[in-house]
Amino acid sequence: MIIGLSILGFFALLTIFGPYLAPFNPNKPRSRRTSRHRCTTFLATSLGQDIFSQTARRRPATMVVALVAGLVATMLSMIIAISAGYLGGFSDDGLSLLSNVFLACRASAPHRYRQLLTGE
């Protein structure tokens, strides 16, 4: 739990202080070299754009999306769990089956995407 909170705290601090730590334009190439292979340096894209600046500048939008997704998932799971516990019987079994199907679909999705991309 402490490790997870530390990672969350790091990204929260990066969200707050990111624009001050990376004052460069994230889309502007930092190198004047035109060769694609010469421009690839540590923490730069093949176009010479600073990866840290891109990460630091776009962190607030990512944090908002993550927060909203977490809240929506928590609310839906609470509604399903409370309904299943209150109704009991056949409804409980049906909602449990529905939850298990969604968990199985999420777990097998990366495998299916790999199959689609590679043609296996």
55-112 residue pLDDT tens: 777 778 888 888 899 899 899 888 888 888 888 888 888 888 888 887 777 666 666 6
16 in a structural domain = yes
Domain count across the chain: 1
57 in a structural domain = yes
Cα angle at 24 between 23 and 25, to 5 degrees?
A: 125
118 in a structural domain = no
111 in a structural domain = no
Residue 39 pLDDT > 70: no
Q: pLDDT value at position 72?
A: 93
Q: Quick one: pLDDT band at residue 3, thresholds 50, 70, 90? A: very high
50 in a structural domain = yes
31 in a structural domain = yes
Q: How far is CA 105 from CA 27, 82, 94, 99, 113, in A?
A: 37, 23, 17, 10, 12
Q: Quick one: pLDDT band at residue 35, thresholds 50, 70, 90? A: very low
Task: Check residues 101 and 9 and name the one with the higher pLDDT.
Answer: 9
117 in a structural domain = no
109 in a structural domain = no
Q: Please enumerate in sequence order all residues whose Cβ is within 8 A of that of 23, keeping only pairs 6 or more positions apart, or say none.
A: 53
